[in-house]
Amino acid sequence: MNAPTPISPRGLNLASYKLNSAYQAYFRFRQLGDKVILSNYEGEWIALTQEEFKQYAEGTVPEGSALHQRLDAKNFIRATYNVQQAVERVRARKHFLYSGPLLHVMVVTLRCNETCIYCHASRANMDAVHTDMSKETAEKSVDLALASTNPFITIEFQGGEPLVNFPVVQHIIEYARERNKTIGKQLEFTMVSNLSLMTEEKMDYLLSNKVQICTSIDGPEKLHNAQRRLPTRDAYQLAVHWIKRINQRYEEMGLDTTLYHVEALMTTTKETLPLWKEVVDTYVKLGCKALFLRPVDPFGFADRTRLRIEYPRSAYLEFYRNAVDYILELNKQGVQVLERFASIFLTKILQGTDPNFLDVRSPAGSGIGQLAYSFDGNIFTCDEGRMLYAMGEDTFKLGHVDTHSYRDLVGHETVRAMTIASNLEGQPDCVNCAYNPYCGTISATNHKSQGSIFGRMRDNNVCAVHKGIQDYLFEKLAGDDEEVVKIFERWTTVRPRDHFIQEQDDNAPAETAPAE
């Protein structure tokens, strides 16, 4: 392989180097303080001092030296480059390319009883019953989901608030389980709910049918209630009540509560930024084992309220660093909690595998990793594409459950275009980035914010966030705190949650789902 044309990221001056491209295997680099991070095509990485990097760039590393051994072990030297090892590691990182859509988002209604200031889903009022999915549309959506070539299928209930149309949620679960008896997919269900309409009866049904439940907690009570408004002004209290109640039921069922618990997400607004400690403390107090410090997205109501809720991404990254520093200190004190963005990136960096988080992979999951089914039967490349359709943009609509087959959807020209656009090897600003093996871009977000599914990474908010988070992680990994590295390694541990997998009828004949 040829070494890339040397560039000077973050001010590293190569003008005085006597570059020798015959020594190095293909590499990318990025300066972080007094260290230089190198990565290669297959995602191996190494942190060098600037003097060590100079020796590497000039090809003057003494053979047999400790530096030479470190570089050789990570496949950075041209003369000993192990092509087969590189192939195997790239294949492991891109395992998701060998299957079809795994995630099938089913928007069973747009109605919602909460009014969130950043609502991405363009929610409808509670009397807008015309935005409820019918049972007929639900069945056709399930048939398409089970037609996926992926042996693993997750059906995710979204809204609006999916508990508003609970009869259709129940119908989807029962219809999908029955259909799957003869198809034999590994089937799971998840629900994203604000929990304010939960009842004991609904909870019993969901838990008995092994539905994984996820909710939203934006931070301390005052902040949460200000951002996620209920007329009764008790959104936080209701969410907390049901988080604790569901977790209690998991314990009563004999499940490991460090593994089985309600997952909670948050959206970071301008009001959140100074409250990083309070946000973390809120999650820890609730017994949550993970929090996802997500920045606000430019969809739905968030586009209208951006002057109130938006912020420079540099301010977000300061918030992120403060919060994760605090999380690390809590871990050192024995508190088991992790940050989800960090966990995703660290799994790629430290384990050499991809956790298949669809928005942070290359190529991204739009159309090839997920499909989104709206209440009216329209089908989209992704949930973001569905959100944009609600804003009057139909670019990411693939078809309708009444008229399009599975092959029509995944073979659609828009899916092909988004796959090309989110392949970082074809992105001009990404191809030489040291974080290329670990990153990903979101075509629908690029289209909304920059007018192109390719985007322009040097001015891109998502890129700024991803790059800033990875700068933070590599600074920690290249530092002298071995305890932090051990904590990071623990954050990459994957423990399968088999309880959520639906049982199959072992006596039923296998049937291949149609994929016309």
* pLDDT tens-digit map of 272-283: 999 999 999 999
**Is 202 among the domain residues?**
yes
pLDDT digits (tens, 9 = 90+) for 306-361: 888 999 999 999 999 999 999 999 999 999 999 999 999 999 999 999 999 999 99
Task: List C-alpha distances in Å: 230 to 164, 195, 197, 236, 241.
Answer: 15, 12, 11, 9, 15
Q: Mark whether 335 and 233 lie in a shared domain.
A: yes
Q: Mark whether 43 and 152 lie in a shared domain.
A: no
Strand, coil or helix: 22: coil
Instruction: Tell me which of 73, 93, 113 is where a domain ends.
Output: 93
Q: Could you give the CA distance from residue 503 to residue 177 in angstroms, rounded to a whole number?
A: 8
Instruction: Tell me which of 93, 122, 155 is where a domain ends.
Output: 93
Q: Mark whether 303 and 220 lie in a shared domain.
A: yes
**Is 2 among the domain residues?**
no
Domain of residue 190: give its range. Answer: 100-349+368-409
Quote the distance between the C-alpha of residue 376 and its chain's center: 26
Q: Mark whether 72 and 211 lie in a shared domain.
A: no
Q: Mark whether 225 and 206 lie in a shared domain.
A: yes
Q: Mark whether 82 and 110 lie in a shared domain.
A: no
Indicate the number of domains in the chain.
2
Q: Mark whether 176 and 247 lie in a shared domain.
A: yes
Q: Mark whether 120 and 231 lie in a shared domain.
A: yes
**Is 421 among the domain residues?**
no
**Is 457 among the domain residues?**
no
Q: Mark whether 64 and 116 lie in a shared domain.
A: no
Task: Please report the pLDDT score of residue 46 as a whole number.
Answer: 98
Instruction: Tell me which of 359, 378, 409 is where a domain ends.
Output: 409
Q: Mark whether 161 and 84 lie in a shared domain.
A: no
Any idea what the CATH number is for the domain that residue 302 is in?
3.20.20.70
User: What DSSP letter does each residue of 93-117 carry, written as one string?
Assistant: HTGGGGS---EEEEE-BSB-S-EET
Q: Mark whether 127 and 69 lie in a shared domain.
A: no
Q: Mark whether 139 and 179 lie in a shared domain.
A: yes
**Ranges of the chain whose pLDDT falls below 70:** 1-11, 505-516
Task: Please report the pLDDT score of residue 494 as a whole number.
Answer: 80
- How do 28-32 and 35-39 pair as beta strands? antiparallel
> Rounded to two decimals, what is the model's pTM?
0.93
Q: Could you give the CA distance from residue 166 to residue 189 in angstroms, rounded to a whole number?
A: 14
